[in-house]
Amino acid sequence: MDANSRVPALRTPGAVRIIGSGGKAHSLDEIEVENLRLLTAGAVNAQPSRYLPAGSTVRLVDGPLAGLTGRVTQVRSQKRFVVSLDLLQRSVEVELHGTALQPSSPMAERRLTR
């Protein structure tokens, strides 16, 4: 989106910012727009949460396994995740609360970083 298009878009009533990354605007599917409308209508008590889909690399930041890196294999709820850890050339899965995890960059995929 060029600068000439940005200004009129941001002057639209209710517009706060343009969604995008790396200086490029992104479009939203109509269903995503409708979901945002429902959330902002106040019908539910929505709280922000980390987005950790299955396959995400995460670092454990709390509890006895803090410092280990693993991969989310299953999302059980907004707060419960199953994470696979490589230990002694075996994979073990542990169920953890989301507050014990933080997203880890792909560069930090050393599985046993203590």
- For residue 92, give the nearest of 110, 73, 105, 107 by alpha carbon: 73
CA of residue 65 relative to chain centroid, distance? 21
Residue whose structure tokens are 């930041």: 61
Q: Where are the alpha helices (DSSP H) in the chain?
A: 3-10, 30-40
Do 61 and 32 share a structural domain?
no
pLDDT at 5: 78
Model confidence, pTM: 0.50
So what's the pLDDT on residue 49?
A: 62
**What is the mean pLDDT for each group of 10 consecutive residues in the chain (114 residues)?**
78 84 81 81 68 84 85 79 75 80 63 38
Mapping DSSP to helix (H, G, I), strand (E, B) and coil, where does residue 97 land?
Answer: strand
Asked, for residue 47, whether it belongs to a domain, the answer is: no
State the Cα–Cα distance between residues 13 and 30, nearest whole angstrom: 18
Same-domain status, 23 and 65: no
In the chain, how many domains are there?
2
Q: What is the pLDDT of residue 109?
A: 40
For residue 46, tell me if it sits in a domain. Answer: no
Looking at the fold, whether 99 and 69 belong to one and the same domain comes out as yes
